[in-house]
Structure 1
């Protein structure tokens, strides 16, 4: 069982003041271990977050969402039962498998603004 290595690629829909980044902790994780995708430089006035598996933000790839006002957590078709979303937008993936490798996209929904997206990517070697 080889380690997972985190190499992060950031893609932007729209410009912002501070760049949102996704950091994987730990950067290398073995299969069966947990990895936390930590989100930095979150903008203000956030209504919620949606996490997707891959780089396509559609219903089929939708893992989980969090609404800040109601603190409600929703689950989508890509939810495996091992993902946990937190109020700070971080995503915990427990008992990582080879199927978990690839891209993860977070869509940040701001009040009164267009939605913004950022993609974090980690690959199993």
Structure 2
């Protein structure tokens, strides 16, 4: 008796191989447990902010909020005890409040509140889950100015550094009214606040400016004109 097989346009596939393929497909398609996390949030200085929790695990018995990355007992901000014989949520009032849905409310946010936050949820089986998130605090009023180390330079001889002084979160560079296209001679700093051109070439001549923004508004600097001379 011949073995069972399935016909395809490429030939015959042995039924055992097909079963293995189906098993692997089912394994790969198994749903994964969503990771506990704090929703990273932006907040204007002086306002209030709600740090929300997503992917809350079931069967929990309590939790703790920490300032910083990690469960440092010196940085406990709030905690919740949920047991059959006890329910205790702290703090439930003040500048920092633990809400019933586990969110952390911070009133009159300051720059000192910015950074990473950690939540530890204790499960009923004595295990725990840990989640992280970042709070970024920005000044609502934008300040920006653009300065250059030199505005008159010689081609293939000099370099120039343009610095965008601002309190904004996001910085975007423009050249001659268009988005700046970087080349191998240009380098933008990690914080995007400075642009270095080394060496300068004649095609770099023209006006530059920086456009800055935070989550609620945007503005731009006055332009700086670069004059490139050549020998």
Report the TM range for the smaller structure's normalisation. Answer: 0.7 to 0.9
Does residue 1:95 correspond to 2:95, yes or no?
A: no
- Give the corresponding residue for 1:112: 125
Within-5 A mapping of 1:36-51: 36-51=50-65
Query: Offset at 1:56?
Result: 2.5
Query: Offset at 1:20?
Result: 1.9
* Number of equivalenced pairs: 103
Query: Offset at 1:71?
Result: 2.9
Whole-angstrom distance in 2 between the partners of 1:92 and 1:105: 14
Deviations 1:51-88 (A, max 9, x none): 0000131210111101123331245xxxxx41111222
Asked if the contact 2:96/2:106 (under 8 Å) is kept, the reply is yes
Structure of higher RCO (CA pairs closer than 8 Å, 6+ residues apart): 1
- Give the corresponding residue for 1:5: none
Query: Offset at 1:42?
Result: 0.6
SS of the equivalent of 1:117 reads strand
Q: Which has the larger radius of gyration?
A: 2
- Give the corresponding residue for 1:21: 37
TM-score with structure 2 setting the length: 0.41
TM-score with structure 1 setting the length: 0.73
Whole-angstrom distance in 2 between the partners of 1:118 and 1:54: 12
- Give the corresponding residue for 1:86: 99
The unaligned stretches of length 5 or more in structure 1 are 1-15, 76-80
Change (3 A) 1:30 1:90: same
Whole-angstrom distance in 2 between the partners of 1:117 and 1:57: 9
Change (3 A) 1:58 1:21: closer
Query: Offset at 1:108?
Result: 0.7
SS of the equivalent of 1:92 reads strand
Moved over 3 A (4+): none
